[in-house]
């Protein structure tokens, strides 16, 4: 995609129109990598597999595409130049691994499309796109994700971390991902207003020419995890022309409805939601603890309510699976007059 050709104001509305009004985002990544045998006990977390097991990264992307996802996020959430350098990689090698995260996702999309049979391309005469739209989103995790100390779930970076610190930390990473062939950038699990402001200023200062979404996390359904107002955080995204969607991720499903309503008060941009399973992350033990986790069928039962509240893009975060995404895709395809969202076909 040629970056200079993108009309940011139309990017997401056009994409959603081509999807039939609603879009499906992929689900938990690390959970699936571990299910396939990856050992993620490492500060790089899922980004470790860019080095050790790129074939597993591709396999997880394909699992989500087979489940009906319209958007797959790269395995770069915890991939930072600083993090790779701390593991002994050179700057050039670190930058190459960031680019590779996008390449692997794009390769998976190509493989998925190649799998589509001629029988699945029979809807052109009905005015429906010949294959299901799929975007590759370059994932950018927070500064707290790099620290790997759980601070992405608290937003507490300490007084020493300034707006300039965060912009300097993220700048080169964002530049690389924006020029690696991704369709958009996903700024995920944003825990505080300061980091949202850093991202917005970076997008403008660096004249990033692919669109982005901002997705925040909350533990009370009212504020982001730092305690900053979700309304103030979303307003930062609303004011940035390069941001085409605003939403919530890695948050318990029970909070999502109220958060959607809050977002709609301050933004007209499409709302994206991809909650976690409802479990709670214990940073000291580095594991998810059962609390109010939900089964796939329970998770999916919320989709209609969230759609009616104003959300347009739906997926899952930590501890959700391709089964979750398949169920979401089926629900949305039943709500859509166009059959192009049918997860059982490649259209």
| pLDDT value at residue 290 | 59
Residue 242 token pair: 């390069």
Q: How far apart are CA 37 and CA 44, in angstroms?
A: 16
Extract the annotated binding site: 250, 317-318
DSSP 191: -
Q: How far apart are CA 64 and CA 132, in angstroms?
A: 13
Residue stretches of the chain with pLDDT short of 70: 1-7, 117-130, 278-298, 335-347
Q: How many residues does the chain have?
A: 347
| pLDDT value at residue 287 | 55
Backbone φ, ψ for residue 23 (5° rounding): -130, 155
Q: Are 270 and 13 in contact (CB under 8 A)?
A: yes
> pTM to 2 decimals?
0.89
| pLDDT value at residue 335 | 62
| pLDDT value at residue 119 | 44
Extract the annotated binding site for Zn(2+): 250, 317-318
Calculate ∠ Cα 231-77-263, nearest 5°: 15
């Amino acid at each position: 995609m040629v970056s200079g050709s993108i009309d940011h104001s139309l990017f997401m509305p056009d994409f959603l129109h081509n999807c039939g009004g609603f879009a499906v985002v992929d689900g938990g990544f690390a959970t699936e990598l571990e299910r396939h045998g990856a050992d993620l006990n490492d500060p790089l977390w899922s980004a470790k597999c860019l080095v050790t097991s790129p074939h597993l990264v591709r396999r997880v992307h394909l699992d989500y595409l087979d489940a009906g996802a319209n958007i797959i996020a790269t395995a770069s959430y915890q991939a930072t130049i600083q993090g790779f350098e701390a593991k002994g990689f050179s700057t050039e090698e670190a930058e190459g691994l960031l680019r590779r995260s996008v390449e692997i996702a794009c390769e998976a999309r190509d493989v998925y499309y190649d799998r589509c049979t001629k029988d699945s391309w029979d809807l052109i005469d009905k005015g429906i796109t010949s294959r299901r739209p799929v975007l590759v989103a370059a994932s950018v995790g927070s500064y707290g994700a790099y620290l790997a100390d759980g601070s992405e779930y608290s937003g507490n970076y300490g007084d020493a971390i300034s707006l300039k610190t965060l912009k300097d930390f993220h700048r080169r990473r964002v530049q690389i991902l924006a020029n690696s062939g991704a369709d958009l950038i996903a700024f995920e699990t944003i825990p505080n207003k300061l980091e949202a402001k850093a991202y917005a200023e970076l997008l403008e200062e660096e004249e990033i020419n692919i669109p982005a979404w901002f997705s925040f996390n909350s533990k009370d359904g009212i504020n982001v995890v730092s305690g900053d107002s979700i309304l103030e955080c979303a307003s930062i995204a609303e004011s940035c022309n390069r941001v085409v969607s605003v939403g919530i991720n890695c948050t318990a499903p029970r909070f999502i409805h109220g958060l959607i309503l809050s977002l709609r008060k301050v933004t007209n941009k499409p709302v994206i939601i991809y909650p976690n399973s409802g479990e709670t992350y214990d940073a000291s033990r580095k594991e998810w603890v059962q609390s109010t986790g939900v089964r796939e069928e329970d998770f999916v039962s919320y989709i209609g309510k969230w759609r009616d509240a104003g959300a347009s893009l739906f997926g899952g975060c930590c501890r959700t699976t391709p089964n979750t995404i398949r169920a979401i895709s089926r629900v949305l395809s039943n709500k859509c007059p166009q059959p192009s969202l049918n997860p059982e076909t490649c259209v």
